[in-house]
Structure 1
Amino acid sequence: MAKRTKDDSKQKTAPATRTKRFLKLAGMTASVAGSYAAERVRRAFNEEDKEERQARAYDKMANQIADTLGELKGAVMKVGQIASQTQDFLPKEFSQALQRLQKEAPPMDYEVIARQVERELGAPPEELFKEFSEEPYAAASIGQVHKAVTLDGKEVIVKVQYPGVDRSVDSDLKQLKLTLKLGGLLKLPKESVDQLFEEIRERLNEELDYENEARNIADFQRFHAKDEGLIIPSVVRQLSSKRVLTMECVEGDHISAVSAEAYGQEVINLIGRRLFRIMADQLFKFHAIHGDPHAGNFAFRPDGSIIMYDFGCVKRLKPEIVHAYSQALTAGLNADYDALDNYLVDLGVRVSGKPAVEQDYYAMWRDIFIRPFRSKDEEFDFASSNLHKQVASKATTVFKYMDFFQPPVESLFIDRMIAGHYWMMMRLGVQAAFRKELEDYLDLSSAA
């Protein structure tokens, strides 16, 4: 895992019962629905300052949702983390508030973790391990990690799932969907919303199965076996189960410790090129992607090595989706907006049967997203990139064409992977030109 500083001030928590979870979420739903209804009444009688009042109402609702999801952890917190990475289908106030959920969650009491280990592995941690740290090494939405030493002296990390998380997924998602609907926040057809939540539910159930994650790790280790500078820690299967995953301890620096002063710009650029290759290989060759690419799931070393963690969320891609995605990228690079419109229909992003979207709209987005790929030779400086600000400034234009587009169910996790890598490139301060590499991958995908 990436090295981090211990914060003893964090308040530990106990798992919420299913009844408590339901009441918390139901209370959140009622409050959000009430706020939305009240705001609609105010708008009906007073047109002045309409946008300002709406922004204040959205900000209040967003912060209440973020606070509740963060407290309950589990499936709803994970969905909040996913939602925070999109500006497309939620007002910007929600994306901003939900960004808080990307930070490390408060840990559970050690007694809760010890009981979960005993339930899953048949004995308490002190019998199964030579050493087992009571202080968590990291805490997240669905589980937390502890450092340990096996009986034969091997240093490992043990990921323990919070009790009851897997049993609450369906009810959590049902309640969250109701909240967003009653809050007037999902201005999408019911069928599209149902498809989007079903995709998220499937990925969450896979992520909650640590035996599935162990298989994913083995698959990605085989695929990347010859990739220099990439390390994927191995599973200790005899100390793993559906809700406990023990892996060899392979440490590196958290992204916050990587700087030009500490690593040198040349090494940082090497890391950036390796990150791009890893992402593109998984997408265009393996047709399976690491679906949770936030900075906490990567660590780095001064020799340019990258360590990848957490393969619970893996999206297996249909070949036709990869083909349509690559064709859409090719059309975008070539400013062929008629072809782009057609491939977006194939991807399920554009609603079929609607008239073609105006080319100026596509050109606006293309001019923003092409910047890191504008030149084959001139390096793009991610440290000074403002792509995310440009996207945010154009977010309101999405609502003008809302009837023409729908949630990209099949490519949702591709977009999430690319967004996650963009943020890492920016935080690392990578300077690189990726146009030639991207074109090579697109040519390879078209020929397949």
Structure 2
Amino acid sequence: MKTQNHIPTSKVARASQFVKAGVKVGGNYLKHYGKKLLDPELTKEELHQDNATDIYKALSELKGSALKMAQMLSMDRSILPRAYIDQFAMSQYSAPPLSGPLVVKLFRTYFGKTPQQIYEQFDMNAVNAASIGQVHQAWKDGKKLAVKVQYPGVADSVSSDLRIAKPLAIRLLNLNEKDINRYMGEVESKLLEETDYELELNRSIYISERCSSIPNLVFPTYYPELSSKRILTMDWLDGFHLKDFLKTNPSQEIRDRIGQSLWDFYNFQIHDLRQVHADPHPGNFLMRADGTMGVIDFGCVKVIPDFFYDNYFRLINFDTLDDNRATMEIFQNLEFIVAEDSPKERAFFADLFKKMIVLLGKPFATQTFDFGDNTYFDTVYAFAEDLANVDELKNSKVARGSQHGLYINRTYFGLYSMLNELKAKVVTNKPDWLVSKKLRLEMQKAG
């Protein structure tokens, strides 16, 4: 893989990359409409492919928050055309890596030594390169290690990158500026946390220790003495990323076992720890033929405030939806409905969000759920597509929903997507208070 010898770090240099991407996108549109004059039946497939390629190339050279946003978008099939999904998914573990001299320079900055002076052996060729950093193999004291090295300038450019990228995002995603502004602070704070490897080290140790009793999960040991604010060292874990794992044609039993571990992992974090590994993309999980799975990268962790947790998850028990007064109170608390809404608007948005909750909460309404059921996911994607065209939402005076829901919704979307690709059938374990009366009756009848 071609390496990268330089990363633009100044605001001017990084801004120029966004401008170049915008110019290329504009040129692609002109080319598309020129061809359409000759062929009125021409679809936008080639346009999407050209735009996706040009934008990804620009973002992959910038690294950092810009590439991280592409990674987040690649998980959401309801927002982007397939060409963007496929291209942006490369940011999960296939971005162009840094060259050797830049890696050595980073080690000298934080340890005063080269990697060869710290480890018995250090492979200068990165094995994975993603949005915030890249991973190298190393050996010390007979142990094979994974060393995550952060790209230079990433931490300092988060805020300015997000401001510069906003116009491109508005155009590309057809979003209102208020929708983006609504959640920009939440995204910015999480991206800044992801660049702090000392924070990630502490969270990694805490969450992996607390989750160590969950069957079939494997966590690496972390090494504080070999880590710093921009470098993180842990045990090397073997395994396949999801797409490569599926190429091995695992049995349904193994798919279900791994799927169950994924479900139980997130269930425990959310309901017991009240903080969650909020980056459930395939690059963070290493799956094995025996049905075990390694979990890595706790850079993005969402701490769930009690007020949000209490309101959000009350809706997952569908008994709540039978109580209109309680439901409307929660909708206000979660900012689905706002004080400025007219009675007509309140009724409209209440009905809309009830439908959304019933659809997305369906796995919680059963004892087991078959995530391989594509008809369910087709319905979800169709609903999301319809949602994007609802005039009342597009013309709303405010963006709907608490900013805390951004990463929780993203977490569940990523979890559902992976379980769908696994075609896993899982027991949807949940706290007792989330079991509805209807489901409780079904469970009693089943014995």
Deviation at 1:246, TM superposition (A): 0.7
Change (3 A) 1:125 1:59: closer
Query: What corresponds to 2:203 in structure 1?
Result: 216
Q: Secondary structure at the match of 1:330?
A: coil
Whether contact under 8 Å (1:230, 1:305) holds in the other structure is yes
Aligned equivalents of 2:197, 2:93: Cα separation in 1? 22
**Structure 2 letter corresponding to 1:11:** K
Aligned equivalents of 2:350, 2:101: Cα separation in 1? 59
Query: What corresponds to 1:442 in structure 2?
Result: 434
Whether contact under 8 Å (2:93, 2:283) holds in the other structure is no
Asked if 1:121 corresponds to 2:115, the answer is no
TM-score normalised over the length of structure 1: 0.81
Decide which moves more: 103-112 or 131-140. Answer: 103-112
Decide which moves more: 25-34 or 77-86. Answer: 25-34
Match of 2:382 among 385, 393, 400: 393
Query: What corresponds to 1:135 in structure 2?
Result: 125
Deviation at 1:296, TM superposition (A): 1.3
Q: Which has the higher contact order (CA 8 A, sep 6+)?
A: 1
Asked if 1:253 corresponds to 2:240, the answer is yes
Structure 2, unaligned stretches of length 5 or more? Answer: 35-39, 437-447
Aligned equivalents of 2:73, 2:249: Cα separation in 1? 34
Change (3 A) 1:137 1:101: closer
Match of 1:277 among 250, 261, 264: 264
Deviation at 1:168, TM superposition (A): 1.4
Aligned equivalents of 2:329, 2:82: Cα separation in 1? 28
Query: What corresponds to 1:422 in structure 2?
Result: 416
**Structure 2 letter corresponding to 1:345:** Q
Decide which moves more: 425-434 or 112-121. Answer: 425-434
Deviation at 1:259, TM superposition (A): 5.2
Aligned equivalents of 2:334, 2:348: Cα separation in 1? 15
Asked if 1:239 corresponds to 2:233, the answer is no
Change (3 A) 1:76 1:239: same
Aligned alpha-carbon RMSD (Å) = 3.6
Deviation at 1:317, TM superposition (A): 1.0
Aligned equivalents of 1:83, 1:257: Cα separation in 2? 21
Q: Secondary structure at the match of 1:235?
A: coil
Whether contact under 8 Å (1:149, 1:156) holds in the other structure is yes
Query: What corresponds to 2:136 in structure 1?
Result: 146
Match of 2:274 among 269, 287, 292: 287
Whether contact under 8 Å (1:383, 1:427) holds in the other structure is yes
Query: What corresponds to 2:37 in structure 1?
Result: none
- Report how many aligned residue pairs link the two structures: 420
Q: Secondary structure at the match of 1:246?
A: strand
Aligned equivalents of 1:427, 1:53: Cα separation in 2? 28
Whether contact under 8 Å (2:316, 2:364) holds in the other structure is no
Q: How many percent of aligned residue pairs carry the same amino acid?
A: 28
Aligned equivalents of 2:174, 2:382: Cα separation in 1? 19
Whether contact under 8 Å (2:212, 2:219) holds in the other structure is no
Q: Secondary structure at the match of 1:390?
A: helix
Asked if 1:329 corresponds to 2:316, the answer is yes
Decide which moves more: 395-404 or 161-170. Answer: 395-404
Q: Secondary structure at the match of 2:137?
A: strand
Aligned equivalents of 2:415, 2:382: Cα separation in 1? 21
Structure 1, unaligned stretches of length 5 or more? Answer: 1-9, 43-48
Deviation at 1:135, TM superposition (A): 1.8
Aligned equivalents of 2:399, 2:159: Cα separation in 1? 27
Match of 2:154 among 165, 171, 186: 165
Change (3 A) 1:101 1:159: closer
Deviation at 1:141, TM superposition (A): 0.8
State the Cα deviation string for residues 222-279 of structure 1 (Å, max 9, x = none): 3224333322212111111000101112223332354598653333322222211111
Whether contact under 8 Å (1:253, 1:299) holds in the other structure is yes
Change (3 A) 1:16 1:358: closer
